[in-house]
Structure 1
Amino acid sequence: MAKISPTSIKYSIIATFVADGPFQKPDVIGALFGQTEGLLGSDMELRELQKEGKIGRIEVDLVTEGGKTTGEIIIPSALDKTETTIIAASLETIDKIGPTDAKITIKDVEDVRGSKRDYIMERAKALLAGIKNEGMDSSEMGTELRESTRVAKIVSYGAEGLAAGPDVDSSKEVTVVEGRADVVNMLKHGIKNVIGMQGTRFPKTIATLSETKELTLFVDGDRGGNLIAQNVCDNAKVIYITQAPDGKEVEELTGKELLQALRKKVPKLDFFKRSSGRSQRSYGRSERPRRVEETPAENIERRALTDDDRAKLRELESEIKGRNVLVLDESLDIFQNVPASRLGSLKTDKAFILMAGNATGTIIHGAEKLQAKAVAAKTFGKVPETDVELISL
């Protein structure tokens, strides 16, 4: 009997069977050969096909429990797909295995070459990914080696595991940035006394660090950077603040731009005075024109926000659900909980603060119409310039 080469296998016929009594594996093989004999003609006899190496070794697994026998049959085939499916269909005509009634069902005709092609493709992708920087010259190799060494020095710092450079503990001055990507970029350009805040909630590690270090806050060059600066200064002792160029993020700055920005750092009070005087600045983004809203006949005088107010707002943060907006009166009691789309039709003179998960332009315009003192939110989208105070939670 000729053996089928594993490399010649094109398909695998996978069948299951169930029978009413016990029997052995040879009984299954005998049924396959015996009950298909003469059914398809001499050219398609299983026994002859196996001798010619067109059908491989038939594998049988079976289990007998409670008087019933179940199992699986696998037949490798080097025939084409038409002949293979004919052989597979013929197996379902078998109604006895040994002395017992049985039923065989074809579960699948698997294209073995397809599985191999899938493996080849996945393996090729992995090998391609492993080919790095083909044709790199010696100067590029040196640059990559230096940069990889710098990035490798990133450490996990404090209870929150903040991304940081290796010199945070040893330096008197520490630069605080928004996220891990900012830290990586700073390290890539040799600035090692840096730590990232990582996330929307202010980490206690930064507050603790500000008690012993001189902190410089480095924020992105957009409106969100200003909001983050206010939030950090509310929670930690920050000495200096600097900002990326208009419309740019810290993570995308070149080494030269990073150093220029750090040299331009200013005391935090000067930063906020400068920021408040630039109400027409667009921060490099396209903003919608402010809507001309119909305002109430009388201007409403709102009291100033206190530190206690800000603390209570953070306690109310958990009340924000979905895209709804909480409308608070001057006692910071919630008297309306409405979708942002309904703010324009809301008629009240009690709206002191609006709270939302994400503050959009629609919410800012609603606050202006209601003459609210402030909008407090977890995050801020592309918001227009406004006189309404923005509070980051």
Structure 2
Amino acid sequence: MINKINNEVIKMPNTGIVKYHVKLKFDVDGLVEKADIIGAIFGQTEGLLGPEMNLNELQKVSKVGRIEVNVDTKSNSARGDALIPMSTDISTAALIAAAIESIDKVGPFQAKFSLVGIDDIRAIKKKVIVDRAKKIVQEWATKTISEGEEMLKDVYDASKPGRLTTFGKAQLACGVGVFDSDWIILVEGRADVINLLRAGYDNSIAIEGAKIDETILKLTQGKRTIAFIDGDRAGDLILKELQGLVDIEKVYRAPPGREVEECTPLEISEILKDVEQFINDKINDTNTIPSNVQQIRNHHRIDHSQNQSNNQDQNSSITYNRNLTNQSLNKHNNYDNSDQKQSPDNMISKEDEEVISIVKKVFQEINETLEAMVFDKSMKRIVKIPISEIMKKISELKDGNLLILDGIVTPRLVEAANKSGIRYIIGHRTSNLKRTNPDVRVQTFSDMGLISQPISSR
């Protein structure tokens, strides 16, 4: 019998009611066939051990199974083996084996039968079961150990500080988070950066001295900037120099007389505990639409809806949505021109319609994937990439026109897109777009009505 477990073939003895296999071999001085051997076994043992042990009778009550014989003939002799399955007790099996060994003729030819062995089929089956059980336990143990190691690795990785790197020609020490974060922390030296990494902040950079390198000025452009300075006289001087060159949102200080590198991670976390909330509040304030602009937009929407009230309800709804979407496309670029009158016929261009159509078509595909798509002017998709690779990939593109991403639209992204010729950017939300670029039109999914409200800035 063959079982398949996890695609592995395991041979099991076909026991049924069989308990023992009696195995014999024989040599005959003449040419004989299987039927001759079986006839000799039944005929020459009949009545030898009494009627209750005749093989015919035992077969009738299923105590003996079908006898299997293999014969190999060569020149004028034959030899082979026989297998007799039995479900009797071991004593009866032994008696029948001994009786078969007493056979000395097969037909007219001299013959010799010898017992090879009696196999306990139940013992063989038990061995197969035990071997399989061992393998099951081994697989379970391996899986458990792997899961345990994975859990330990996760815990260990969570406790490891962020990675230290450098930035700019001056090779200023910084955490890897300064490249992607919307806000950064300015500290005095490399040791301060390492200490902040231990506290869980990977978006700090060292200014390395009282003279502020131009690298710092470039990095802080378009980012919220926090200063975390030593609590000594030298810290006062550096802060004064910083405030003269960099737009510092808020200043944090180490305890009086101490340096940032001397603070424990717990002390740093306590000092900076409100920094993220402060940054979020600032971003939300920046993204809030001025009330006069909102009134003008609402006025356009009402007028447009009234002008279309005599049309079919479906056409009215489509036109209204286009009006709203077009205003959203101009949301980040045309505030200064929002008081200019626009007629409903001029509120949306053919290219805008194509952009809106493509965004609505791919929204479900890209939402919550952390991926980005770039389309050319004919609205054919050029590339689909993770948003972590978007800055590098955009710089290599030549024919991009529309960028749709499941992420945040930042000033750096707008600048990179502009250099590559991309005219439209659609994302989940915007971050810190202080100065708009007239060549790049920015919009969020919530502006287009694809989600109920914008995702809060963090």
Shorter-chain TM-score range: 0.3 to 0.5
Q: Structure 1-normalised TM-score?
A: 0.34
Q: Structure 2-normalised TM-score?
A: 0.29
